Amino acid sequence: MRFGKVSLSCIDTGELKTLTHEEKLELLKRIRSGDEEARAEFINGNLRLVLSIIQRFSNRGETPDDLFQVGCIGLMKATDHFDLAQDVRFSTYAVPMIIGELRRYLRDNNSVRVSRSLRDVAYKAMRAREELIAAGVAEPDCAAIAGRLGLSERQVRTALDAIAEPVSLQEPVYAEGDESLLVMDQLSDGTAENQYENIALDCALKKLSKRESDILTMRYFQGKTQTEVAKAIGISQAQVSRLEKSALSHMKKNL
């Protein structure tokens, strides 16, 4: 697979048909009346949509043929659940469905193991997102998904973060000729060295006790004085000073 082009052994991508908007609407009406031939024609006419999407997953170590087959499952699900009554184009509805199917496949085959409970919440969240999109919500956020599931926004966000596919700082997000834009280039600082320092700092903070971590966060990230910190956590200013010195000493050792 190359950037901008997909080569498959199972089909000749150059021979794939493209449907007009009017043809899609007509076929969808026939599908709703139970016409299986119309369903097959509609799916075949939208395979280019699947091809365009699997390019995003070209660096995941999976073969293009496997990704294409999984993407087609998402396309079929979108075809069967698309509501003609909604004022939404089929592609707008189908793209997140296909991407969701591909991400589920990649997560299930990921070497990084996530607890069953977190995975279950994440899958429920993805289904809820698809249902909200089908109901006309353009881009459901974590708050909307959490409300639909009866969970807290934090639970949903944690579950989705836990199964998110890791991305390398060196991964290209755009390429044209010899020029490419990396994930690292889109970060606010722009240098890998500072990003690694921030990661090390975060890890060192996590090794502190909760009180020490809270004190350093309030003092150096929120800009509070020792007196303000003492009032916030209910101890004396002298205790804050002592704990701050101890925390900084531990941070130096951890770094």
Residue 105 placed within a domain:
yes
**Each residue's pLDDT expressed in tens, for the chain with a length of 255 residues:** 333 444 555 566 667 788 888 899 899 999 999 999 999 999 999 998 898 888 888 776 678 888 889 999 999 999 998 888 877 888 888 888 898 888 888 877 665 556 677 778 888 888 888 888 888 887 788 889 999 999 998 888 888 877 666 555 555 555 555 555 555 555 554 444 455 566 667 777 778 888 888 888 888 778 888 888 889 889 998 898 889 888 888 877 776
Residue 139 placed within a domain:
no
Domain finish residue from 74, 109, 144: 109
The pLDDT of residue 173 is: 52
Domain finish residue from 77, 109, 141: 109
The pLDDT of residue 178 is: 56
Residue 149 placed within a domain:
no
Compute the distance between CA of residue 34 and CA of residue 7 in angstroms, rounded to an integer: 33
Residue 215 placed within a domain:
yes
Q: What is the CATH number of the domain that holds 96?
A: 1.20.120.1810
Domain finish residue from 59, 85, 109: 109
Residue 134 placed within a domain:
no
Residue 166 placed within a domain:
no
Compute the distance between CA of residue 192 and CA of residue 200 in angstroms, rounded to an integer: 12
What is the span of the domain harbouring residue 226?
207-254
Residues facing residue 175 across a β-bridge:
180
Residue 47 placed within a domain:
yes
Three-state DSSP string of the chain: CECCECCCCCCCHHHCCCCCHHHHHHHHHHHHCCCHHHHHHHHHCCHHHHHHHHHHHCCCCCCHHHHHHHHHHHHHHHHHHCCCCCCCCHHHHHHHHHHHHHHHHHHHCCCCCCCHHHHHHHHHHHHHHHHHHHCCCCCCCHHHHHHHHCCCHHHHHHHHHHCCCCCCCCCEEEEECCEEEEHHHHCCCCCHHHHHHHHHHHHHHHCCCHHHHHHHHHHHHCCCCHHHHHHHHCCCHHHHHHHHHHHHHHHHHHC
Q: What angle do CA 236, 238, 241 make, to 5 degrees?
A: 115
Count of domains in the chain? 2
Q: What is the CATH number of the domain that holds 232?
A: 1.10.10
Residue 187 placed within a domain:
no
The pLDDT of residue 4 is: 42
